[in-house]
Chains A and B, each alone.
Chain A
């Protein structure tokens, strides 16, 4: 059971905007930054968003992150077939441990 809570799955059609939520508590999301990863099948995860809303170079601006209180969300606009992947939120808990969400499988219909 993951410390951070994500929906197991979501879906959208090409061109649509989808959001993935990540819920935590005051000891993790509420007091520390949130990061997001994209994992394509059979590959290592890729850093998508850091420090809640920043994009590493090379990540399209279709991907955006936000945080409010003890929750965070990842938004993907202009959905493409290549966005079909697993998405994970990650953070730090004040109990001195890294934490992950259980992952959300995005299906592009």
Chain B
């Protein structure tokens, strides 16, 4: 049974860096043909695709976030990580990691439970 679990600080100060880790169990991020990705959802609002990564490091990013976002993969720990620089209140959201069903777009067939990150001083 594939499971994904997001972890990281729930509170980040403005202008600092948001860092989250997605730990995958029940599958290997490297011995697979799947991309892995991040999607976020501000409180009470819709979904926003952040980006995706393949085990070889190939990445795709939301163009509106690309300058501030880094997604990386650690095959030894079976983890996918997300960093968002220079955060503002607009980055407050529930952040989901997921396995991408097909290709590299916002097509998760497996989701983590989500991690709420609040940007506030």
Contacts and interface: CB of A to CB of B under 8 A. Distances in A.
A109 interface: no
Interface string A6-30: 0000000000000000000000000
A44 B96 contact: yes
Contacts of A103: 46-47
Interface residues of A, number: 25
B34 interface: no
Max chain B CB contacts within 10 Å: which of A44, A96, A99? Answer: A44
B47 A97 contact: no
Contact of A35 (B61, B107, B112, B114): B107
A10 to B, nearest CB: 15
B105 interface: yes
Max chain B CB contacts within 10 Å: which of A33, A45, A99, A101? Answer: A45
Contacts of B63: 95-97
Interface in B56-92: 60-64
B96 to A, nearest CB: 6
Contacts of B10: none
Nearest to A56: B109
A24 B107 CA distance: 17
